[in-house]
Amino acid sequence: MDSSSAIAPTRLHVTMLGPTLRQKGGVAAVEEAIFRHAPPELKIDHIVTHEEGSIARRLQVFATGLKELAAQLGRGETDLVHIHFAERGSVFRKAIALSVVRRFGKPAILHAHGSEFHTFYQNLAPVWRSAIARIFRQSSYLIVLSESWKTFYVEQLNLDPDRVIPIPNPVEIPPEVPDRRAQTTVNFLFLGRIGQRKGAFDAIEAFAALPPDRRDRATLTMAGDGEIERARDRVSQLNLGDRITFPGWVDPVRRAQLLAEASVFVLPSYNEGLPMALLESMSWALPAIATPVGGIAEVLTPDETGWLVTPGAIAELSAAMQQAIDNEPLRIRLGINARHRVEPLDVKTYCDRLHHLYRSALESPSK
């Protein structure tokens, strides 16, 4: 036997910087999915660089994480650093981390998640925009969530398009989904932080605008943290407490139960990257009513996988909800198509793409 065939590939040591895995939200969910499904050729260490709390607490967590990163790099314990960031303070913190990584001569991959990075960046003074763009160009690659986000970073930060890589967020495809035919009640489901950015209050108003006979055939479940009391007060004013419920932030088991019981997913956001909740709902064969912001329009196609409505357009949103209530065959068809659409985004395929990108960064690091 050829002895070379028995030699296993070198295991790659990756240090990942990001929020604590206890944090609620998409970035932590992406990190956790990577840790659970990374191939055996990868050894991934996680350094916490952000935790919710006071400014003093956030600075302390970042300083501790930066110190741990420098120690790892100094001991030669990592081959590459994968840096997650969002917007505002996260950008400045991760720019510092990237500079540290490059001082040690290691490649770094940036991973953009911020749904409002474009407005944050465009509101900065020119000198700060220039500084951020210059630091970003030190990375081996920048992972973005969609082609539209790639266009933004290439055009606005003057990045090399060959080093800006669109990789949509991963999704864990459930092995089977419930049969939703002949449902007597159409269950709309919202998953996410309850507030203005994700359009939570628009969803309430749109549901309230439904004709009474349609409301009687539907419910709206709004699971998440945020401005829950404000939302409950508005539901009480509308006298819809029997139709709209707020279970709060749910754990994975309860989340799966809600997705199984739902008929349609609703997320009328004003800004997004590419929401994990949307992809997850599609994997459960749910048609979605959403808005064409961030990368959503690249996975959600009208009359194929769901409905796209204008952000803030309550009448449009309500009309889409009414069509979903009235047309069961359409709901079922869109839901089946939605599941097929996200199957290529399966988390194992995602982790294989990351592994390939890591290897590529080591072969051709940024200068």
Going by CATH, does the domain composed of 12-170+346-363 fall within 1.10.760.10?
no
Give me the pLDDT at residue 5, please. 47
Residue type, position 211, single letter: P
Give me the pLDDT at residue 315, please. 98
> Helix axis angle, 276-283 relative to 328-342, nearest 10°?
110
The answer to whether the Cα torsion of 240, 241, 245, 248 is positive or negative is: positive
Q: pTM of the entire structure?
A: 0.85
Residue ranges in the chain assigned as alpha helix (H): 26-37, 55-74, 89-103, 117-122, 126-136, 147-157, 200-208, 212-215, 228-237, 252-261, 276-283, 314-326, 328-342, 347-363
- d(C-alpha 240, C-alpha 81), whole Å: 49
Return the HEC string of 154-208.
HHHHCCCHHHEEECCCCECCCCCCCCCCCCCCEEEEEECCECCCCCHHHHHHHHH
φ and ψ at residue 292, rounded to 5 degrees? -85, 60
Would you say 54 and 122 are in contact if contact means Cβ atoms under 8 Å apart? no
Give me the pLDDT at residue 364, please. 76
Give me the pLDDT at residue 144, please. 96
- Residue partners of 148: CB distance under 8 A and separation at least 6: 294, 295, 297, 298
> Helix axis angle, 314-326 relative to 200-208, nearest 10°?
60
Give me the pLDDT at residue 4, please. 45
Q: Where are the domains of the chain?
A: 12-170+346-363, 186-345
Give me the pLDDT at residue 366, please. 58
- d(C-alpha 144, C-alpha 164), whole Å: 7
Give me the pLDDT at residue 6, please. 47
Would you say 355 and 39 are in contact if contact means Cβ atoms under 8 Å apart? yes
Domain 186-345: give its CATH code: 3.40.50.2000
Tokens of 249: 């932030």
Mean pLDDT by 10 residues, the chain (367 residues): 51 93 82 91 94 90 95 95 91 93 95 90 94 94 95 96 95 93 94 95 98 97 96 97 95 94 97 93 98 94 97 98 97 97 94 95 74
